[in-house]
């Protein structure tokens, strides 16, 4: 479709303005992408929590544990799947404080519904290392 003068370039420019840029990151500038990432981080709810139970998860495609985590009185107990088997054994995880995102939608992982995202970073071999506070902190507190 052309504008009244038959100008294709003007029509493209108008269409670009109509695009939802947030859904098309390839069209965003580097500064816009950084701003969008910061906005999404601020909108996500990160909380410190304590692992209270760990179960094996043999149905997972990649080796993982099913974690039961206590977020304190405001959030309660939630469950998560985490690929921690390469760096941690189940007994060592019980009682650990870790960091999670608690306001993402639940995610079906095989037969298990993961209710939040347990945060970690890959080590040099690609195994997941948990993000955790280095001292005792109240459960359910927000990360900033």
Q: Domains in the chain, please, with CATH?
A: 8-43 (no CATH), 46-130 (2.40.50.140)
Position with higher pLDDT, 25 vs 32: 32
Position with higher pLDDT, 95 vs 71: 95
In this structure, are strands 97-101 and 117-118 parallel, antiparallel, or unpaired? antiparallel
pLDDT exceeds 90 at position 94: yes
Q: What is the mean pLDDT of the chain?
A: 77
**What is the reported pLDDT for 129?**
92
Instruction: Take residue 89 and report the two structure tokens written for it.
Output: 């054994």
Long-range Cβ contacts of 64-69 (<8 Å, 24+ apart): 64/109, 65/90, 65/93, 66/112, 67/93, 67/118, 69/98, 69/100, 69/116, 69/118
**What is the reported pLDDT for 144?**
72
The pTM of the whole model exceeds 0.85: no
CA distance 139 to 76: 10
The model's pLDDT over 41-66, given as tens digits with 9 standing for 90+, comes to: 555 666 668 899 999 999 999 999 99
């Amino acid at each position: 479709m052309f504008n009244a003068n038959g100008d294709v370039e003007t029509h493209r420019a108008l269409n670009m303005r109509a695009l939802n840029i947030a859904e098309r990151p390839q069209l965003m500038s580097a500064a816009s992408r950084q701003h969008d990432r910061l906005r999404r981080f601020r909108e996500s709810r990160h909380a410190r929590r304590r692992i209270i139970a760990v179960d094996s998860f043999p149905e997972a495609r990649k080796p993982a544990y099913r974690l039961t985590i206590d977020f304190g009185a405001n959030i309660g107990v939630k469950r998560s799947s985490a690929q921690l088997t390469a760096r941690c054994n189940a007994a060592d995880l019980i009682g650990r404080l870790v960091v999670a995102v608690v306001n993402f939608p639940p995610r079906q992982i095989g037969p298990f519904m993961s209710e939040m995202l347990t945060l970690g970073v890959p080590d040099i071999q690609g195994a997941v290392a948990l993000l955790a506070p280095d001292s005792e902190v109240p459960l359910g507190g927000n990360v900033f």
